[in-house]
Structure 1
Amino acid sequence: MKSKSKAIIKPFSSAVGRPTKYYSEFATIAHKLALLGLTDKEIAQTLSVSKSTINLWKREHLEFSDSLRRGKTIADGNVAHGLYQRAVGIEYIETTKELVGTELIVTKQVTKFIPPDSGAALSFLKNRQPNLWSDKQQLEHTGTMTVTMDLNGGNAGGEEEDPLTEDTDYEEIDETDDGE
């Protein structure tokens, strides 16, 4: 008696190549790393993948792309805010606390001022108003220009002259040096 075997049919998979290393937790991790100011290349190194893999994940996983973008936007905003404060100067209150018994008690509050930093101000203005503050200025010249070239080398007769014989004074050199 023959036994009938059943064929195992695997569902068709369109995935080709190596399985992805992407996990949904990477969106949260990427967000936090972007908040720290890391670049895509540095985030890739942290996640042990290549930068091209990060770019692929940004295209294929919307939550990853959004988290990364949000983190970078917040980080950029914080840096811009700090640069702005350095550019215009900032006033803050410094509080001193001391331990009295088992309690921390405020013993002194002093208002301090950090003066504006001209380097920060210039950097801020160069980025916000590059047309006014850039080191390089774009100049546009208008009008016409006429260029005349003498293809005969300045010789109206068209004959070539030997540059070594033409009105050149040469110093005679005595090559018999007797050491005197």
Structure 2
Amino acid sequence: MANGKYKQWLTKEGLLRIQGWARDGLTDEQIAKNMNIGLTTFYEWKKRYPEFRESLKENKDVVDRKVENALLKNALNGNVTAQIFWLKNRKPNEWREKREIEANEAQSSSMNQLIQSLTQARGNN
């Protein structure tokens, strides 16, 4: 396990540094680089050491909440892009793009016309 490096990161000080990076919005890859370990080792440590995994999770959740709150604030203050993003993600059945449905309706209409044409042609024979 990376020559025992994990021990230094499971100390109070090590976990605080990791928590700070997670709160700053760094990705797993960036945190692993700051820790001077490979990404594979990073993921192995997340599986093996619950305190490591929880420190990351809890502090990434903090940043996610801040971004969610900022997005909501922007949406409520009239930012149309933020409003669209929010609605498409929070209420996808009502706000997603309708292109897929329109394409399916067009295909269905074409299929019905083909069936009708074949039925008529068959009736004429």
Distance 1:18 1:87 in 2: 46
Structure 1: 5+ residue stretches without partners: 1-16, 90-115, 149-180
Question: With structure 1 as the length reference, what TM-score do the two structures score?
Answer: 0.51
Distance 1:48 1:137 in 2: 47
Kindly state the Cα deviation for residue 46 of structure 1 after the two structures are TM-superposed: 1.2
Matching residue's letter, 1:27: L
Question: With structure 2 as the length reference, what TM-score do the two structures score?
Answer: 0.71
Kindly state the Cα deviation for residue 45 of structure 1 after the two structures are TM-superposed: 1.2
Normalized per residue, the structure richer in helix is 2
Equivalent of residue 41 in structure 2, options 53, 59, 64: 53
Aligned with 2:4: secondary structure?
Answer: coil
Structure number with the bigger relative contact order (C-alpha 8 A, sep ≥ 6) is 2
Distance 1:56 1:136 in 2: 42
Kindly state the Cα deviation for residue 18 of structure 1 after the two structures are TM-superposed: 5.3
Aligned with 1:49: secondary structure?
Answer: coil
CA 1:18–1:35: 2 relative to 1, 3 Å:
closer
Structure 2: 5+ residue stretches without partners: 119-125
Distance 1:88 1:67 in 2: 32
Residues paired across the two proteins, number: 106
CA 1:134–1:20: 2 relative to 1, 3 Å:
farther
Which of these two proteins has the greater Rg computed from alpha carbons? 1
Q: RMSD across aligned C-alpha pairs, in angstroms?
A: 2.5
